[in-house]
Structure 1
Amino acid sequence: MAGAAASATVVVAATRAGPVPGVVLPGGPLGLWRAADAGRPAWSVLALAGIAVLSLAFVLLYLLARDRVVDVRYVARAAAVWTAPVLPAQPLLSLDAYSYVAQGRLLVMGIDPYVTGPIVFGPGPLLDPVAPIWRMTPAPYGPLSLSLLGWAAGLTGADHVTFVLLLRALALAAVVVATVAAARLARPDARAVAVALVAANPIVVLHLVGGVHLDVVIAALAPVVLLAARRRLWWLAALAAAAAFAIKLPGLILVGYVLWARFRRPERRWAGTAAALAMTAAVTLAAAAAVPDGWGWIATLDTPGRVELLYTVPAALAGLAYGVLGPTVGGVSFGELLDWSRLLCAAAGAALIGVLIVRGGDPSTPVRRAGVLVGGALVVLALAAPVIHAWYLSWAVALLAACAGSVGHRRLIALSVALCFSALPDPLTRWHHGLLPLTLLLLAVTLAVTFWWLAGARTPGDRPGSTRHQDITSAML
């Protein structure tokens, strides 16, 4: 049971490795969330190894499902076993959940989270676990997200442990919805593959469920939107898309797809589009009315971009430009190039997203092709953004798992594995610990093995049910 052992290793090791400096986490049930007093770099390396093993187990499970060695039930059981160790754990590989607690508490107290950050609480249990970079920033989430956080904070009294476990239960339910919807969208002979790519994906196991990120709601609603549109349940498609938008900005892509797809339908074109638009507006306005300053989040959408990550597409382009212009032209800083690169990526990304939505909403486009196009638009949004986190890939994971072909699946797997190494315990990402080269080396090795396995053709002896496949299954899963 390598997958379960790997996820359990990540839970224990990431917990013992501890948070970034300046953060004090709650002890958790029976003190199990406390960091180690010493040896944190070693615990970080162990967590890194666990992420690598879980990623490779995921690749192998996909291959077994693709070759029809295992069925949907087997894949679902494997995913459940891999997910079980994270259920009682602290929020994994991210401190966002503690920001959720503080933002929910602000709303309960009648303070606008779109105006101020958790810093208003001052030093204490609500502020201390929040990442220092987010303590003074307002919430960048939609009003439906804030309503959910306020409800959870009111129900749990903003107690960290019960708040996290409650949101994790909701995240787990959303993963189940996303998995079932992906299986319904996929071809009958590819349902095991779809389940593997969603439920057993380390992005889902470690970040959506383990990290308790609100992006899981987008992951669940995206395939629901496509299923409803395929069955011409436009009211349901519009409702789900608008709810996704009220959770977080990526939902706007789903809204655009629904309205365009409905408009392109010849039957009752104007009346039907108006009805879908009315449903979208009703849900959006109701969500905005449920919190103070319900449109305030539009002004805070630049909050995530305040973090400068060097592995984003805009940063890579800026680095390339700086490497060329610095020695030749001079007089330009990396920061200036990064600002221009972000603008360029935003403009190009918006144009590409528009093209993908238009093509996806064409009535002649098969439903699974539309799923690939809409899922591709969500991936473009994640890649073109000023900052990218592992859980951003979840916006499109169910659509691509259900609708993409083998090439699309390989790209999804490669992105999933690579992004899993973008959220790590602090000692692994700092040069002064001397562990960053090890992180990059293990990432390169894991990706190399991933590409090797995905590119390898099945030999005649590797037919479904062969002894070789059965041996691999029992050894790795």
Structure 2
Amino acid sequence: MTEPGPAPAGPARPARYAGLAGAVLLTVAGWLGGALPDIPPAGPWRAGHGPWALGCWLVGIALLVGGWWSLRRGVPSARWAYLTAGLWLAPLLAAPPLASRDVYSYACQGWAYTAGHDPDGVGVAAAGCPWLDAVAPIWRDTPAPYGPFFMLLAALAVTLGGDLVGTIVLLRLVALAGVLLAALCLPGLARAAGVPTGRAAWLALACPLVGVHLVGGAHNDAVMLGLLLLGLLVLVRFPGRPTPLLAAGVLLGLAVTVKATAVVVLPFAALAAVLGRYTVRALLRDGGWLAAGVLAALAATSALSGLGLGWIAGLARSGDSEQWTSPPTAVGVVVDYLREWAGREPAAVPVTRAMALVLLAVLLVALWWRAWTALRARNDVRQRVRRLAAVRPRVTLFAAGVALAATVALAPVFHPWYATWPLLVLAVSATRTTWFALVCAVATFLALPDGTSLARYTKAPGAIAMTVLVVALAGWAVRARRTRTG
């Protein structure tokens, strides 16, 4: 079953200008009550310009999501998609940090590094960052969970920016560069996987999560995704060639040294590196060149920054917050409610999170094996090499996107911008898109302009609803498997 083709120009025009109006309203909401350096004591929607800020934010989000959703199955052309996405992003460049205070953590971590402290070993409070008041309280005492390459970028922003405002501006420009790099890679990846370029560009770039969080919030996920897509593009264009494979490995390694999440893609990237017949020998040969590039990037950035691999330990602190937006956390919270009702101590959340990580490991192995066997099935000598070359990008990219989606779903914590990880890869490889586009649309509504998560105010009902959804999906999966087996 294929999805409808390009949308006619008539319905596209209202969607374009509705999204633009939404972006302008979000910028206004940002200045009225966004994530400004001084933290509002009771939330920006409760005092001063609060009602106006909240009203502009909710209407702006609704317009952006509505415009994006209405054209998710096709746009007039790829050029139209790029121009419209750029039109929506432009107002957000003039906004203060939106929907998150993480960019202030980046600034303080960069300052700590330039001041001679180890951001992987101490929190920004202990380092004495002068901008500490702007950092969210929960992250003031935690070490940085980001890799050495991003620490170098953050330190550069601090050095060139001088004060907090200059640093924030430069960090947003770094995030914008990551989005632009991803935008350059989308057409080549979409064509390689046989996906309409216009639809891929629209899903990836016009998605409100990209504008609000990657650009407006200046999240370093944008840099990770830009490097990740560029590495994948090199792989699908030049498989089996040592020099491009090394270059692709370096790009993927740099993505890992921004955020460790990118490591999930590496096994599937090794499949994309193979040229010709899929054999264990070919996988070790071509995948070896790729692995060499990844290790070179890790070694070079660790040595250049002097930070080594200490940042890996900081990843353990990313789950300090408990929100129902993470399915395993939601299930644990509901179990704890039942334990408290029975008079027992609540201790289920760490258990459900550990079980989810084990399940994730099993799923990643199963996804890789399924992609490997699918490609091996096309090794028949009667099949033309050209046909295998056409199948390889679609299989490997889609498997990588699903792996990222599973990582997001089973992680101990979920923030709205995490949904952009699978979004950009699935946009260039998936035939059916509603299943992940719907998640992105809903996730856009989860944050307020100052970075407050709505999950904080809906813990009990949200956890129960998420648990019911998890149980329903698990039951559906079991029934579907039994039906196929029968």
> Is 1:6–2:22 an aligned residue pair?
yes
Deviation of the 1:209 alpha carbon: 0.7
> What amino acid is aligned across from residue 341 of structure 1 in structure 2?
T
Equivalent residue for 1:17?
Answer: 33
> Is 1:132–2:137 an aligned residue pair?
yes
Deviations 1:7-37 (A, max 9, x none): 1111211331244997279xxxxxxxx9997
Pairing partner for 1:289 from 303, 323, 334: 303
Report if the CA contact (8 A) 2:172-2:216 is conserved: yes
Deviations 1:299-348 (A, max 9, x none): 11022200111221112222443466665xx24444x1111110111110
Deviations 1:411-462 (A, max 9, x none): 2211111111222246975799xx979x99xxxxxxxxxxxxxxxxxxxxxx
Deviation of the 1:115 alpha carbon: 1.3
> What amino acid is aligned across from residue 108 of structure 2 in structure 1?
A
Equivalent residue for 1:163?
Answer: 167
Deviation of the 1:388 alpha carbon: 0.8
Deviations 1:250-269 (A, max 9, x none): 11112232345557556655
Alignment partners' CA distance in 1, 2:256 and 2:325? 27
Equivalent residue for 2:395?
Answer: 369
Deviation of the 1:366 alpha carbon: 3.2
Alignment partners' CA distance in 2, 1:332 and 1:46? 45
> Is 1:348–2:359 an aligned residue pair?
yes
Equivalent residue for 2:120?
Answer: 114
Equivalent residue for 2:448?
Answer: 424
Equivalent residue for 1:399?
Answer: 425
Pairing partner for 1:172 from 171, 176, 187: 176
Pairing partner for 2:107 from 101, 105, 108: 101
Equivalent residue for 1:210?
Answer: 216
Report if the CA contact (8 A) 2:271-2:283 is conserved: no
The verdict on how the C-alpha distance between 1:248 and 1:291 changes in structure 2, with shifts beyond 3 A counting, is same
Equivalent residue for 1:85?
Answer: 91
Deviation of the 1:238 alpha carbon: 1.5
Equivalent residue for 2:59?
Answer: 49
The verdict on how the C-alpha distance between 1:169 and 1:429 changes in structure 2, with shifts beyond 3 A counting, is closer
Equivalent residue for 1:250?
Answer: 261
Deviation of the 1:175 alpha carbon: 1.4
Report if the CA contact (8 A) 2:123-2:142 is conserved: yes
The verdict on how the C-alpha distance between 1:226 and 1:189 changes in structure 2, with shifts beyond 3 A counting, is closer
Scaled by the length of structure 1, what TM-score is found?
0.80
> What amino acid is aligned across from residue 247 of structure 2 in structure 1?
L
Deviations 1:224-268 (A, max 9, x none): 333222231422321222111111111111223234555755665
Equivalent residue for 2:12?
Answer: none
Report if the CA contact (8 A) 1:237-1:258 is conserved: no
Task: Tell me which moved more, 367-376 or 179-188.
Answer: 179-188
Q: Which runs of 5+ in 2 are unaligned?
A: 1-16, 377-390, 463-486
The verdict on how the C-alpha distance between 1:166 and 1:265 changes in structure 2, with shifts beyond 3 A counting, is farther
Deviations 1:168-212 (A, max 9, x none): 222222212212322222247711100101110101111001110
Identity of counterpart residues, as a percentage? 30
> What amino acid is aligned across from residue 327 of structure 2 in structure 1?
V
> Is 1:183–2:194 an aligned residue pair?
no
RMSD over aligned Cα atoms: 3.1
> What amino acid is aligned across from residue 411 of structure 1 in structure 2?
W
> What amino acid is aligned across from residue 358 of structure 1 in structure 2?
W
Task: Tell me which moved more, 363-372 or 90-99.
Answer: 363-372
Report if the CA contact (8 A) 1:41-1:427 is conserved: no
User: Does 1 or 2 have the higher relative contact order (CA < 8 Å, sep 6+)?
Assistant: 1
Task: Tell me which moved more, 279-288 or 40-49.
Answer: 40-49
Equivalent residue for 2:386?
Answer: none
Q: Which runs of 5+ in 1 are unaligned?
A: 26-33, 441-477
Alignment partners' CA distance in 2, 1:436 and 1:73? 41
The verdict on how the C-alpha distance between 1:79 and 1:22 changes in structure 2, with shifts beyond 3 A counting, is closer
Deviations 1:269-293 (A, max 9, x none): 5444433322221111111112233
Deviations 1:367-398 (A, max 9, x none): 11221110111111111111111111222222
The verdict on how the C-alpha distance between 1:270 and 1:6 changes in structure 2, with shifts beyond 3 A counting, is closer
Alignment partners' CA distance in 1, 2:330 and 2:40? 33
When the two structures are aligned, how many residues end up with a matched partner? Answer: 420
